Chain A
Amino acid sequence: MVSIDGKEHSDSLIRVRNLNKVYRRGGETINVLQGLNLDVEKGEFVAFMGPSGSGKTTLLNLLGGLDTPTSGTVTVDGDEITNMSGRNLASWRARHVGFIFQMYNLIPVLTAFQNVELPLLLTKLSKAQRRQHVETALSLVGLPDRMKHYPRQLSGGQEQRVAIARAIVTDPTFLLCDEPTGDLDRKAAEEILDLLTELESNHGKTILMVTHDPLAAERADMTLHLDKGALVEAAS
């Protein structure tokens, strides 16, 4: 069950406590996140909505260990990531987080296969094992026949599928999606959302997604709104 009340929940996969993020631009201080609390259980699909600049992406960055909070803690599966060194955090990200971006962020000089293989290069898997994992991931997203294609040879929807394959190939603890359908037409967006829903329901993936799209948010188990740096429950 998703919770934002800050009370202790023993079965939380992700636990955020009193999270604050302050940006300073010139003489101005911007409190993007203010005392934010969040508990997410394993296998839940949560959507975050809110106006531009409300701190959705900042929250996602903090949950994924891409940025450090001004204060507060983020604990994932028992690991408090807010205290980790840069090196440990990188290693933690490789093992626990799958990232899906709005602009796909594939490496243009690598084929779909090589893009999906990238996170596996950080593991001790053999070449044959890596190949097996990549083929499984690409099959799961419906692109087993596009392995040798470069990103420029794929449609936007296909690129995002490759990005999803890259995100799930290491079987991470949870997926972070930043506007995953923001650059896609309706049909492709629906296909991507179907895929994310399938990953949650059939494979038990925990998914946290930032979106502007109410139709996308509808796919989630719960939608939370970011308002003045704090989370507000919108629907479930």
Chain B
Amino acid sequence: MKYLPFIFRNLFRKKTRTILTIGSIAVALFLFGLLVTIETALNAGVDVAGVDRLIVRNKISLIMPLPVSYQERLRQIDHVSEATFASWFGGTYQEPKNFFAQFAIDTETYRTVFPEYQIPDDQWQAFLADREGAVVGRETADRFEWEIGDRIPLQAPIWGGTWEFNIRAIYEGTQAGHDESLFFFQGKYLEERRPWGKGMVGWYTVKVNDPDHSVAVSKTIDERFANSSYETSTETEKAFAAGFAKQIGNIRMLILSIGAVVLFTLLLVTGNTMAMAVRERVPELGVLKTLGFGDRTVLSLVLAESLIIATVGGALGVGLAKLFTLVGNPTGGILPVFYLSTGEMLLGLGIAIFVGLAAGSIPALTAMNLRIVDALRRV
């Protein structure tokens, strides 16, 4: 601690250079924060998906429906504790850029299968009592400043016309990463109003009583409906979500590549700063050693400078990225889960500290190995 004033004095002997280096690291870590946020958003479904839930969809394609009669048959399969269904509505609120997903759900079973969506009981009862009622996620409610009781018109390109809903409940996720952008309404309302597709649903979500049986239950379901008019394809919710994320491409690989380039650039920038700082200070380092500062102390002083630069830059960059995610979701709901977790922030800070140590190590070793008589000769 007693060396801190000395370290800070050295750091700011070239203010512009130090500030620019800290800025470079901050920008790089800001970029890292955003990349990680996007990666998290793309894999959000995978991360929070339950392994005890199976998605049953039409074998031909997700957009092809399944009969509502399958629900009872699914319930009868061993180890299935509940089966619920949902259908894609595909409505537009005011204009296409105001995207958020809307589903018509089976109100009797949905809450049992998806307990992570927290809805106050009185609001849920109000939703059940209103055929035009809707449950909306906190994020979407805040985004459009909706409140309970508001009447929301949605254009329905698939089903035709304008559909009006009453906001009766606002749900919140129970943990970070839960999608709070969804909009649910009663499946009965869709069934009554839609001009076609009656008696069909989009897909089923089946809850199994033991995740160990997931594979066997999936197989049984698909066998049960084999050779029917509506054959099924069943997989765990996690696999389903991962498949969705994969459709966009190998984002993780792309992010890792960009991250690696950023890291390498950071090493060069910080390493160059520290190398220059040591080169300019060779005589002073010689004086320090003359006064009795040991080789390891000199090494630590130089490393500390590098670490401080990297840590301040890293904290600044990660902090700005966090701030950016808190201000609002810039994707307009396309990536509904847009947040930077504490773990990822710590990872960013860890990377910055690693860069500080790695970039400072060679200049620090140079300083440590300086011969006093050679250093003093450069005065």
State the A residues within 8 Å of B (CB). 61, 64, 66-67, 86-87, 90-95, 99, 101, 103, 105, 107-110, 114, 118-119, 121-122, 127, 166
What residues of chain A lie closer than 8 Å to B13, measured between beta carbons? Answer: 108-109
What residues of chain B lie closer than 8 Å to A119, measured between beta carbons? Answer: 291-292
Question: Given the interface contacts A93-B292, A99-B291, does A114 sit within 8 Å of B9 by beta carbon?
Answer: yes
Q: In the complex, A82→B264 CA distance in Å?
A: 45
Question: Given the interface contacts A66-B373, A90-B295, does A99 sit within 8 Å of B6 by beta carbon?
Answer: no
Within 8 A of A (CB), among B1-24: 2-3, 5-6, 9-10, 12-13
Question: Given the interface contacts A110-B9, A114-B9, A127-B2, does A67 sit within 8 Å of B373 by beta carbon?
Answer: yes
Whether B379 contacts A90 by the Cβ 8 Å rule is no
Whether B290 sits at the interface, judged by CB under 8 Å, is: yes
Task: Choose the segment among B98-106, B280-288, B310-318 that binds chain A (4+ C-beta atoms closer than 8 Å).
Answer: B280-288
Whether B372 contacts A122 by the Cβ 8 Å rule is no
The SS class assigned to the B binding surface is helix
Within 8 A of A (CB), among B264-301: 283-284, 287-297
Kindly supply a per-residue 1/0 record for chain B positions 326-353, scoring 1 wherever the CB is within 8 Å of any chain A CB and 0 otherwise: 0000000000000000000000000000
Whether A67 contacts B9 by the Cβ 8 Å rule is no
Question: Residue on B with the closest CB to A122?
Answer: B292
What residues of chain A lie closer than 8 Å to B297, measured between beta carbons? Answer: 122
Kindly supply a per-residue 1/0 record for chain B positions 122-159, scoring 1 wherever the CB is within 8 Å of any chain A CB and 0 otherwise: 00000000000000000000000000000000000000
Q: In the complex, A94→B293 CA distance in Å?
A: 8
Whether B379 contacts A105 by the Cβ 8 Å rule is yes
22 contacts between A and B (CB under 8 A): A61-B372, A64-B290, A66-B376, A67-B372, A67-B373, A86-B295, A90-B289, A90-B294, A94-B291, A101-B376, A101-B379, A105-B283, A107-B287, A110-B6, A114-B6, A118-B291, A119-B292, A121-B3, A121-B6, A122-B291, A122-B292, A122-B293
Whether A90 contacts B292 by the Cβ 8 Å rule is yes
Whether B292 contacts A66 by the Cβ 8 Å rule is no
Within 8 A of A (CB), among B145-175: none
Q: In the complex, A95→B293 CA distance in Å?
A: 11
Whether B287 contacts A94 by the Cβ 8 Å rule is no
Whether B10 contacts A109 by the Cβ 8 Å rule is yes
What residues of chain B lie closer than 8 Å to A64, measured between beta carbons? Answer: 290
Q: In the complex, A114→B283 CA distance in Å?
A: 18
Q: In the complex, A155→B263 CA distance in Å?
A: 47
- Specify which of B295, B372, B376 is in contact with A87 (CB 8 Å cutoff): B295
CB distance from B164 to the nearest CB of A (A): 70
Question: Given the interface contacts A118-B288, A119-B291, does A66 sit within 8 Å of B372 by beta carbon?
Answer: yes
What residues of chain A lie closer than 8 Å to B3, measured between beta carbons? Answer: 121
Q: In the complex, A109→B6 CA distance in Å?
A: 9
CB distance from A96 to the nearest CB of B (A): 9
Whether B283 contacts A109 by the Cβ 8 Å rule is no
Q: In the complex, A108→B13 CA distance in Å?
A: 9
Given contacts A105-B287, A110-B6, A121-B3, 15 further A-B contacts (CB under 8 A): A67-B373, A90-B289, A93-B290, A93-B291, A94-B291, A107-B284, A109-B13, A110-B9, A114-B5, A114-B6, A118-B6, A118-B288, A122-B291, A122-B293, A166-B291
- Specify which of A61, A95, A101 is in contact with B373 (CB 8 Å cutoff): A61
CB distance from B269 to the nearest CB of A (A): 23
Whether B379 contacts A121 by the Cβ 8 Å rule is no
Q: In the complex, A93→B289 CA distance in Å?
A: 9
What residues of chain A lie closer than 8 Å to B289, measured between beta carbons? Answer: 90
Whether A103 contacts B379 by the Cβ 8 Å rule is yes
Whether B294 contacts A87 by the Cβ 8 Å rule is yes
Whether B287 contacts A91 by the Cβ 8 Å rule is no
What residues of chain A lie closer than 8 Å to B5, measured between beta carbons? Answer: 114
CB distance from B6 to the nearest CB of A (A): 7
